[in-house]
Amino acid sequence: MLIIQKYGGTSVGTPERIQNVARRVLATQAQGHQLVVVVSAMSGETNRLVDLAHQISSDPIGREYDQLVSTGEQVTIALLALAIQSQGGQACSFAGHQVHIRTDNAYSKARIKSIDGSVIQKELQQGRVVVIAGFQGMDPEGNITTLGRGGSDTTGVAVAAALKADACEIYTDVDGVYTTDPRICPEARRIPKVSYEAMLELASLGAKVLQIRSVEMAAKYKVPLWVKSSFNEGEGTLVTSEEKDMEKVAVAGVAFDKNEAKVAIRHLADKPGIASQIFNTIAEANINVDMIVQNVSAEGFTDLTFTIPKSDLKKALKAVEQQAQKLGADKVEADEHIAKVSIVGVGMKSHAGVAARMFSTLAERKINIQMISTSEIRVSVIVAEQDMEPAVKALHAAFELEKD
């Protein structure tokens, strides 16, 4: 089999841990597999570099910033290759540009356009472990680009797709995807298998195990994606295409997110074009809107409520307040003390009553629902921040997620 393994910054955080990764890699190779390993920068290293940049410049962005931070992964690939060699194995390391990971030129958030697998294949055929720097690539002019934080997952999946690998294993400091965060709900259980779609919802709802773009790419190229722990030998979670036996499970997990804020514009004239004016203003400020709710019109007026990243609240209010005044709204209200709680599962779309059970569970706990948003495989609600933990626990129990 051809296996891609990706190790994050914590897994390669010290020389000792790099030796551990080398051992694991060589053990896998000894089972007769071909191995490509994608690594992140050693934990702390990217922050060190970013800190240096901020000591130099108040606004260190663009080409030079990417040139700088990409060195973090280059250090790790060289050290891991040396570790594999010191344990008697054969290895060869490559920075992104050396295996022609072509990206667009959107510095710090570049997207991979293509990977030329020929360099990698040549090394694999000679029995070498190929070690590749995650998170980075090269634009058409030869400038070094980075994919943004967490981009190493995306590199792993992109390499797996380019090489048509049999599996892409993402090693991290947790041993799989859980029904919810065990720190909040001790009954949380590792999910052995989850669909790309459900994983995407879980990731976008705050489960930090996988980067959304890497899941999107895995889904697009049908790369079987494993989430495993680099510190133990657990089975992990397989993220794969939807299969029959998945449908039995209505709800796969409960996700939550405390990083959103709510903005409400009161008493807006309810006429065509109002919403587009508001949201164009927000888009121009480069702010991503998540949930949007518009009340039913009463006497020609309506309330418009939406959520945005908490970190963008000031910027959003500045943009919106002017606009709201112009449109004759009564006032703009903001609330940072909210949380989003979601139930996710591919099975949901064919199971009636899932949303109803969610709402009644929360009602029994006297938890007030401020906003609701649904997709085919997800129901999300906004609740007060202090209601988040009880809500997660109640929903985890109500949908019997602790059971296998």
- Candidate residues 35, 38, 39, 81; the one interacting with a second copy per rule CB under 8 A: 81
CB neighbours of 161 closer than 8 A, spacing ≥ 6? Answer: 115, 217, 218, 220, 221, 223
- Number of residues counted as binding a second copy (CB under 8 A): 38
The stretch near a second copy (CB under 8 A) out of 78-86, 183-191, 247-255, 391-399 is 78-86
Least distance (Å) between residue 212 CB and a second copy: 28
* Residue 246 contacts residue 350 (beta carbons within 8 Å): no
Report the half-sphere exposure of 222 (CA within 13 A, side-chain side): 4
Q: Which parts of 2-21 interact with a second copy (CB under 8 A)?
A: 15, 18-19
- Residue 86, token pair as written in the block: 């010191």
DSSP sequence for 211-251: -HHHHHHHHHHT--EEEEESSS----EEEES--GGGTT-S-
Over the window 95 to 134, marking each residue x when it contacts a second copy by CB under 8 A and - when it does not, the resulting string is x-xx------------------------------------
- Candidate residues 2, 43, 50, 53; the one interacting with a second copy per rule CB under 8 A: 53
* Residue 169 contacts residue 134 (beta carbons within 8 Å): no
Q: Per rule CB under 8 A, is residue 25 in the interface with a second copy?
A: no
The stretch near a second copy (CB under 8 A) out of 53-61, 209-217, 286-294, 338-346 is 53-61
Residue 284: Cβ within 10 Å count: 9
- Candidate residues 60, 150, 206, 224; the one interacting with a second copy per rule CB under 8 A: 60
Distances (CA, A) of 255 to 115, 199, 291, 346: 34, 11, 15, 14
Q: Of 127 and 182, which CB lies nearer to a second copy in the complex structure?
A: 127
Least distance (Å) between residue 97 CB and a second copy: 8
Least distance (Å) between residue 153 CB and a second copy: 22
Q: Is the four-CA dihedral 322, 323, 325, 330 of positive or negative sign?
A: negative
Q: Which parts of 126-185 interact with a second copy (CB under 8 A)?
A: 142-144
Measured distance CA(240)–CA(222) in Å, rounded = 7
Q: What is the C-alpha end-to-end distance of the chain, expressed in Å? A: 30
Q: Of 81 and 158, which CB lies nearer to a second copy in the complex structure?
A: 81
Q: Per rule CB under 8 A, is residue 65 in the interface with a second copy?
A: yes
- Candidate residues 79, 194, 274, 392; the one interacting with a second copy per rule CB under 8 A: 79
Give me the residues that bind a second copy (CB under 8 A), please: 15, 18-19, 49, 52-53, 55-60, 63-65, 67-68, 70-71, 74-75, 77-79, 81-83, 85-86, 91-93, 95, 97-98, 142-144
